[in-house]
């Protein structure tokens, strides 16, 4: 089963509050507050994730101090899952499978860190405006609406806590305005000390547990060896990582193309590394659209929270650089 690219995508699918200040009036400044709040604040809360008929609830504790950022997230229903983050690594623990997936800490995009550190270019691909002020988890929240300028990306509505800017709710919408997925806090405490016990792993790994290390080597974009032969408007190569596939299976190249909000991961690996015949074409997993193709003996897999045609367009545009 070729689960590892999706696992990386899923597991890769947070200081104290500053003194209260007057909220900004323009939406771009709000994006800046949202982008930084989840990194510098301490918080503990419960949030739900909804995609179609699938709903799950998670508990999160996040601490930021002079030593860095530390976070523990536990899924409270369905299949148990725990994600332990520090400034240096991420561990995704799957108790039912007795498996731990280890990756390096990187630019996280998991709720409530849905915005990148660099957000200034978003206006090129989205029309950004303020919406109404509402209430989420007992806090006043300012809504910010990002409408796509084309059909290659989805719309987003973000609700930020008025005083700190912490993202309280995030909704992604398709071209018809229908909800694709939503994250929302139902219970939240912002600020204060975070007990170290809240950050300790719940599951202890013993004999028989499998450790999957997907840490990779960061590469320069110029050395990637692959590129988009036909540019996809708004999407630029943002990172390149060479990742191990496992004993005697070689390596895969992991490229990320992003418009500053939406991101598409492209995994390039030799055909047949796991003994399975690759199945080309489109598929999906929840809000993630996937497209695979075989080119020059390599399997190219593109996946991301983007419209299906965007994943396909990027997958079909990726080609090896001619030397």
- Residues of the chain with pLDDT > 90, as a percent, come to 65
Full domain range(s) for residue 117? 4-199
Which of 151, 173, 199 is the C-terminal boundary of a domain?
199
- Which runs of consecutive H residues, i.e. helices, occur in the chain? 4-11, 27-40, 308-317
Q: Is residue 81 part of a domain?
A: yes
- Confidence grade of residue 271 (pLDDT, cut at 50, 70, 90): confident
Nearest-angstrom CA–CA distance, 146 and 137: 22
DSSP state of 79: S
Same domain, 234 and 162: no
Same domain, 193 and 304: no
Task: Express each pLDDT in 10-65 by its tens digit.
Answer: 454 433 333 345 677 889 999 999 989 998 999 999 999 999 999 999 999 999 99
Tokens 């991961």, residue?
265
Same domain, 236 and 111: no
Task: Express each pLDDT in 84-134 by its tens digit.
Answer: 999 889 999 999 999 999 988 765 578 998 887 667 689 999 999 999 999
Which of 199, 233, 264 is the C-terminal boundary of a domain?
199
Please check whether residue 274 is in contact with residue 249, taking contact to mean a CB–CB distance below 8 angstroms: yes
Q: What are the residues facing 321 on neighbouring strands?
A: none
What pTM, to 2 d.p., does this model score?
0.87
Please check whether residue 281 is in contact with residue 291, taking contact to mean a CB–CB distance below 8 angstroms: yes
Same domain, 23 and 114: yes
Minimum mean pLDDT range among 94-98, 200-204, 270-274, 299-303: 270-274
What does the pLDDT read at residue 154?
Answer: 97
- Confidence grade of residue 275 (pLDDT, cut at 50, 70, 90): low
Q: Is residue 47 part of a domain?
A: yes
Please check whether residue 162 is in contact with residue 30, taking contact to mean a CB–CB distance below 8 angstroms: no
Same domain, 167 and 126: yes
Tokens (6 digits) for 81: 């899952």
Question: What HEC string does 169-223 produce?
Answer: EEEEECCCCCEEEEEEEEEEEECCCCCHHHHCCCCCCCCCCEEEECCCEEECHHH
Chain centre distance of CA 24:
26
Q: Is residue 63 part of a domain?
A: yes
Same domain, 98 and 236: no
Same domain, 65 and 184: yes
Same domain, 245 and 283: yes
Q: Residue 194: give its domain's CATH number.
A: 2.50.20.10
Same domain, 187 and 307: no
Same domain, 111 and 149: yes
Q: Residue 241: give its domain's CATH number.
A: 3.30.200.100
Give SS3 for 43. Answer: strand
- Structural domain count, the chain: 2
Which of 169, 199, 229 is the C-terminal boundary of a domain?
199
Q: Is residue 210 part of a domain?
A: no
């Amino acid at each position: 089963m070729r689960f590892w690219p999706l696992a990386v995508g899923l597991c890769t699918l947070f200081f104290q509050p500053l003194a209260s200040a007057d909220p900004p009036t323009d939406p771009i400044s709000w994006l800046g507050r949202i982008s930084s709040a989840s990194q510098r604040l301490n918080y503990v809360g419960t949030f739900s994730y909804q995609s179609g008929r699938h709903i799950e609830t998670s508990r999160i504790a996040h601490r930021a101090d002079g030593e860095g950022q530390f976070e523990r997230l536990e899924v409270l229903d369905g299949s148990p899952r725990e994600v332990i983050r520090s400034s240096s690594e991420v561990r995704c623990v799957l108790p039912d499978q007795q498996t731990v997936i280890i990756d390096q800490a990187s630019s996280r995009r998991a709720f409530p860190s849905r915005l990148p550190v660099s957000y200034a270019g978003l206006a090129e691909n989205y029309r950004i405006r303020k919406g109404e002020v509402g209430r989420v988890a007992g806090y006043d929240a300012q809504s910010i609406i990002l409408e796509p300028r084309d059909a290659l990306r989805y719309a987003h509505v973000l609700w930020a806590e008025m005083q700190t800017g912490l993202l309280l709710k995030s909704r992604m919408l398709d071209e018809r305005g229908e909800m694709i997925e939503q994250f929302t806090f139902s219970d939240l405490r912002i600020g204060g000390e975070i007990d170290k016990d809240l950050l300790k792993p719940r599951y202890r790994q013993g004999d028989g547990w499998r450790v999957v290390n997907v840490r990779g080597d960061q590469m320069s974009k110029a050395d990637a060896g692959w590129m988009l032969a036909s540019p996809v408007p708004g999407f630029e190569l943002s990172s390149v990582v060479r990742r191990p596939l496992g004993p005697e299976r070689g390596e895969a190249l992991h490229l990320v193309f992003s418009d500053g909000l939406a991101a598409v991961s492209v995994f390039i690996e030799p055909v047949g590394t796991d003994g399975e015949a690759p199945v080309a074409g489109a598929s999906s997993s929840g809000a993630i659209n996937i497209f695979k193709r075989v080119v020059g003996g390599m399997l190219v897999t593109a996946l991301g929270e983007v419209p299906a045609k965007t994943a396909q367009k990027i997958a079909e545009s990726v080609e090896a650089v001619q030397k």
